[in-house]
Amino acid sequence: MRVVLIPIPARDFDPTEVAVSWKVLRAAGCTVRFATPDGAPAVADDRMLTGEGLDPWGFVPGLRRLIAFGRILRADGAGRAAYAQLIVAPELVSPMRWEDIDLDAVDGLLLPGGHRARGMRVYLESAVLQAAIVEAFRRDLPVAAVCHGVLLAARSLDPETGRSVLHGRRTTSLTWRQERLAASIGRVVRFWEPSYYRTYPDPKAHPAGYMSVQAEVVRALARPGDFVDVDPADRDARIKNDGRHRDRPGNARPAHVVVDGNYVSARWPGDVHTFAQRFADLLAQPREAEPPVEPR
């Protein structure tokens, strides 16, 4: 039975990317473990669960529960249902600490995302997690990353080379097209907090999108062409890119997932069923036998 470790921040991770991945991996026969900064149970971004605060009147206490746009912007039914199961699961109730991560005890690492800055920045900037990711890539341990989880991988620099672990890899991530669209909607529905959908604002001296996930990931790659977006010639390009269609078990058409050796990447919650299943399939492949130890 394969063991997959999912490190998450103390709060504000995306509920779908974590819970659906957990559910798919468990259904595939994997054991899933979680790690949080202090070993305490973590909580997802509440706005992505309830939709409250994702309407132009969401700052008014008496009107917060009146949800319109929030029903569209929040996690869908599959994501919310999976999260409701996850929050009572022993593995999330009793996680390990980031500092106690032991790669000898796991067979794979899955890096989910989320965008709300107050919780995600701690995760994205963690030297402890970045060091663990560098070691995982050195070992050629299967690693999966989705959305801002790809950014965490991109920031993980091997001290021996000074390069990102993604240098020389093909990958996707949350695209600037997706992030820009979410940000433009956020500036309307949360006009009092227009940066809600941008984890990192762009410096004034740089063009729009400079601190987007895609731009930072591309800067970590060997070549810009190693960033793999949806092929415009793909017959399903429209439903992959319109932000309305999400994949389901048995329907991968809306998903965009990139597999490069032992590394799997995806863009957003709408890819996550396919993303987690591809990772489960990778983990199920027979391991290469370790070379025998020569006697001294």
Residue 132 CA to chain centroid, in angstroms? 16
Residue 224: band (very low, low, confident or very high) from pLDDT cuts 50, 70, 90? very high
Whether the predicted pLDDT of 289 surpasses 70? no
Q: Residues 234-251: what's their mean pLDDT?
A: 96
Would the CA dihedral through 254, 258, 259, 265 be positive or negative?
A: negative
- The pLDDT value given to residue 293: 46
Is 296 a residue whose pLDDT tops 80?
Answer: no
Assigned token pair, 155: 């920031």
Summarised one tens digit per residue, pLDDT across range 68-126 is: 999 999 999 999 999 999 999 999 999 999 999 999 999 999 999 999 999 999 999 99
* Weakest mean pLDDT among 61-75, 166-180, 241-255: 61-75
pLDDT at 64: 85
Whether 65 shows a pLDDT value over 90: the answer reads: no
> For residue 154, how many other CB atoms are within 10 A of its CB?
26
- pLDDT digit string, tens, across residues 155-167: 999 999 999 999 9
* Predicted pLDDT at 135: 98
290 has pLDDT over 80: no
Q: What is the mean pLDDT of the chain?
A: 95
CA distances from 285 to 3, 213, 261 (A): 14, 31, 12
- pLDDT above 70 as % of the chain: 97
Which has the closest alpha carbon to 81: 20, 10, 11?
20
**In the predicted model, is pLDDT for residue 262 greater than 90?**
yes
* Euclidean distance between CA atoms 268 and 230, whole angstroms: 13
| Among the ranges given (74-78, 127-131, 137-141, 289-293), the one the predictor scored with the smallest mean pLDDT | 289-293
- Label residue 288 by pLDDT band (50, 70, 90): low
Which stretch of DSSP H or E encloses residue 280?
helix 272-284
Q: Where residue 286 falls among pLDDT bands split at 50, 70, 90?
A: confident
Query: To which residue do tokens 């402890």 refer?
Result: 128
